Amino acid sequence: MVPDSIERETTIDAPIERVWALVTEAEHLGRWFGDAGAEIDLRPGGAMALRWEQHGTNHAVVEVVEAPHRFAFRWAPFKDPAGPDVRDGNATRVEFTLASHGDGTLLRVVETGFASLATTEETKARNHAGNTEGWAFELGQLADYAAAVEV
């Protein structure tokens, strides 16, 4: 049986307000998370687009915006099940939780919904493994980006 969630936690060497900007503003998301830009309508129900040179565009819908502590969206980053529209069966939910931690920020990322993807168990497992690896890489990118950029 495929695990339903991925959970990651890291400390970013930047104040919470700065990390909030890095995870919620298109200018920043399109540099550390995507590498070819991003768009975000930062309100519940708002549309998001995350772009990668190699992987194309992934669409998302904003669900929670509670500055500077919680940000969540549903996205459809998978080739199988595919589709440009975020819908039940092809999307997972990503939630960022931020908390001050000394001079830095404790960032927790939880992605859920792998078990309910409308595809085979083998593909669910592949999607889960790919995103598990992806979050380790992306959070490293975020830590490096936070150290290099002024907000």
* Segments making up each domain of the chain, as ranges: 5-24+68-148
pTM of the model: 0.96
Structure tokens at 38: 């991003």
Residue type for position 54:
Q
DSSP notation for 127-139:
HHHHHHHHHHHHH
Give the tens place of pLDDT for each residue, 42-99: 999 999 999 999 888 999 999 999 999 999 999 998 888 877 789 889 999 999 999 9
65: tokens are 């915006």
Collapsing DSSP states into helix, strand and coil, what is residue 25? coil
Q: Are 61 and 50 in contact (CB under 8 A)?
A: no
CATH topology of domain 5-24+68-148: Alpha-D-Glucose-1,6-Bisphosphate; Chain A, domain 4 (3.30.530)
Residue 103, beta-bridge partner list = none
- Both tokens of 135, joined, read 């979050």
